[in-house]
Amino acid sequence: MSHAVSGSAPAALKNDRYLRALSKQPVDMTPVWMMRQAGRYLPEYKATRAEAGDFMSLCKNADLACEVTLQPLRRFALDAAILFSDILTIPDAMGLGLYFEAGEGPKFARPLTSKADVERLGVPDPEGELQYVMNAVRTIRRELKGEVPLIGFSGSPWTLATYMIEGGTSKAFTKIKKMAFADPQALHLLLDKLSDAVVAYLNAQIKAGAQSVMIFDTWGGVLSPRDYRLFSLQYMEKIVDGLIRENEGRRVPVTLFTKNGGMWLESIAATGCDAVGLDWTINIDEARARIGDKVALQGNMDPSMLYAAPERIREEVATILKGYGSGTGHVFNLGHGIHLDVPPDNAGVFVDAVHELSKPYHVADK
């Protein structure tokens, strides 16, 4: 299914390396951005968050969300900006009462416990309950002034469902697995509603100015291979099928990222996505051999490597670049989000190393 949005084309991108790599078009060097690049490792982020008062107030203020999105771009030569938001905006808009406990992460005041709870849920209007996200996208896109593309994102239905049923983060995921195996109809109903909500949410982000979108399936890796396909992958495929794939005269690439999903790369690549995100538990040369002719790859340095000395960081970047090899189709990233106590200078070493050391792999692309 092909979806396009018509409209007048805005100013051309000054740096479209990231979008080109996702479409496997030639680039002069490997593009790089970092998951959670706007965040607590930056002192300027902490100052803006303090100004906002709390995390969700920061998300809901378009000007402040824009400010923290742009902060890492002022420090580092990143090839993309990513919307500053949270994956739990959709469940919050569904009325589950999102709140944050200091040092404990997100929690829901009203987690789902039965099929009746699921049946009561409505699909939120992206320009209604979630309009603050679209306002942030519009503001960021305007303020980027075409410097780099803007990435929009959502959590996957399975990952969102884990928080909605567990009531927060979990180690064993017993509550959602209990529903999966004791009342699968209830869980499938929830996952179906969440798929519809994510399609509407991401398409609204694209219309508001996101030039690429990413789906984070943080907890897909806790499932067995059969249950991964049943409860996670089929719903991500439904989302990919419903997304706007062309806007402003160019393709809107979609990246799927399942943490600990290395064993299912072929199935993920077969969804129709443009790129597959890799964590650090798989070698990128193996991933490219398995699916690199079908999709672009994003990843995959262990974020903890950013604690290392600069030379060790450069060495790791060189190893991953060599693993991927020559040609386009690689977006360099960490295998998950940057840790909050990483020295910002080390992130700069990482970004600069990717650009400098990747140039020889793209000589034939010019």
- CA–CA separation, 146 vs 93, rounded Å? 31
Is 40 annotated to bind a ligand? Reply is yes
Per-residue confidence (pLDDT) for residue 101, from 0 to 100? 80
- CA–CA separation, 226 vs 281, rounded Å? 20
Per-residue confidence (pLDDT) for residue 7, from 0 to 100? 47
CA distances to 46, 62, 89, 211 from 149, in Å: 24, 18, 22, 6
Cα torsion at 212, 213, 218, 221 (round to 10°)? -80
223: number of Cβ within 10 Å: 24
CB 287 within 8 A of CB 324: no
- CA–CA separation, 221 vs 215, rounded Å? 14
Is 197 annotated to bind a ligand? Reply is no
Query: What are the residue numbers of the active site?
Result: 36, 40, 49, 86, 163
Is 25 annotated to bind a ligand? Reply is no
Per-residue confidence (pLDDT) for residue 9, from 0 to 100? 52
Closest CA relative to residue 198, chosen from 291, 288, 91, 278: 91
Report field, pTM of the whole predicted structure over 0.85 = yes
Is 204 annotated to bind a ligand? Reply is no
- CA–CA separation, 185 vs 365, rounded Å? 50
Is 38 annotated to bind a ligand? Reply is yes
Per-residue confidence (pLDDT) for residue 183, from 0 to 100? 98
Q: What is the mean pLDDT of each run of 10 residues along the chain (366 residues)?
A: 55 93 98 97 97 95 98 98 97 95 88 98 97 98 98 98 97 97 98 98 98 98 98 98 97 98 98 98 98 97 98 98 98 98 98 98 80
Cα torsion at 279, 283, 288, 289 (round to 10°)? -140
Is 36 annotated to bind a ligand? Reply is yes
- All domains of the chain, ordered by start, with CATH? 4-15+33-303 (3.20.20.210)
The residue ranges of DSSP E strands in the chain, in sequence order, are: 4-5, 81-82, 98-101, 105-108, 150-155, 212-217, 246-247, 250-251, 254-258, 275-277, 296-301, 330-334
- CA–CA separation, 248 vs 209, rounded Å? 9
Take residue 25 and report the two structure tokens written for it.
């078009």
Per-residue confidence (pLDDT) for residue 8, from 0 to 100? 46
Is 355 annotated to bind a ligand? Reply is no
Strand partners, 330: 297
- CA–CA separation, 333 vs 230, rounded Å? 28
